[in-house]
Amino acid sequence: FTDKTLLLTYLNAKGVILKAFDQFRLKTCIDFKPRDAEEYYISIQKLDGCDSYVGRRVANGQDLSIGSGCDTKAIVEHEILHALGFYHEQSRYDRDDYVRLVWDNILKSKEHNFNKTGSDESTTHGTPYDYRSVMHYSKDAFNNGNGSTIITKDPKFQNVIGQRLEMSYYDVLELNHPYKCSKYFKIVSVHNFNEQISPSNLSVIIQKSIL
């Protein structure tokens, strides 16, 4: 979504989602507003699991799933960051300098979630590897019962990875770069959920919930 416009419909867990939106308003120049008739928009739905495309991929409603057990502020932030173009932190092309994957402990059906993204299709925007990123998997993510799947090369971060409290400093820094936010922490007024906001510079567009 290079034009800073995401359009969203069919919200569930509305309270948690709106809290996540407020964090983007507070820390970035990205805003949210009801969808009108735009071709590209995000449709937040309660589907299976927590899931989103990376970046703008689908016209006429791009699904973002906040399923059962996914309705926390940080998980919503995680999925919105995917829609805004973020891959998982442990998918960085330089990840092998910072973590070791234990492939024998990863569920076979989930191995694709640990693939690296090449430097030809992604960028770090010069930010350091972020163990505290809300986009980083936990040490036991998708394990098959035989132990941890991710080992941090710096042991003090082993129990840090996978935090789902909030976007980290570097998450915000990296997000503000491609979206050309003039300040890293910009306070934006909170708009009424049902209010139509005039389409000016920035918008992530939401349609009224039909829960």
Spans of all domains in the chain: 5-84+179-206, 89-157
What is the per-residue pLDDT across 62-111, written as a single tens digit (0 to 9) for each? 889 998 888 899 999 999 999 999 999 999 999 999 999 999 999 999 99
pLDDT of residue 12: 54
Is 79 known to be catalytic?
yes
Look up the pTM and report it: 0.81
Phi, psi of 38 (to 5 degrees): -65, 150
Percent of the chain predicted with pLDDT > 70:
80
Give, as one character, the DSSP assignment of residue 128. P
- The active-site residue out of 77, 79, 89, 174 is 79
Please give the structure tokens belonging to residue 108: 């076979």
Specify whether the CB–CB gap between 197 and 206 falls below 8 A.
no
Residue type at 59? A
Between 75 and 37, whose confidence is greater? 75
Reported as a pLDDT band with limits 50, 70 and 90, residue 192 is: very low
The residue-averaged pLDDT of 140-147 equals 98
Q: Is the pLDDT of residue 206 over 80?
A: no
Per the annotation, binding residues are: 78, 82, 88
CATH of domain 5-84+179-206: 3.40.390.10
Q: Is the pLDDT of residue 61 over 50?
A: yes
Query: Using alpha carbons only, what angle is made at residue 152 by residues 147 and 154, rounded to the nearest 5 degrees?
Result: 135
Per the annotation, binding residues for Zn(2+) are: 78, 82, 88
**C-alpha–C-alpha distance, residues 11 and 167, integer Å:** 21
Please give the structure tokens belonging to residue 105: 């402990």
Specify whether the CB–CB gap between 42 and 204 falls below 8 A.
yes
pLDDT of residue 3: 52
Q: Is residue 156 packed enough to be buried (19+ CB in 10 Å), middle (13-18) or exposed (0-12)? A: exposed
The residue-averaged pLDDT of 33-45 equals 83
Q: Is the pLDDT of residue 195 over 60?
A: no
Phi, psi of 185 (to 5 degrees): -125, 95
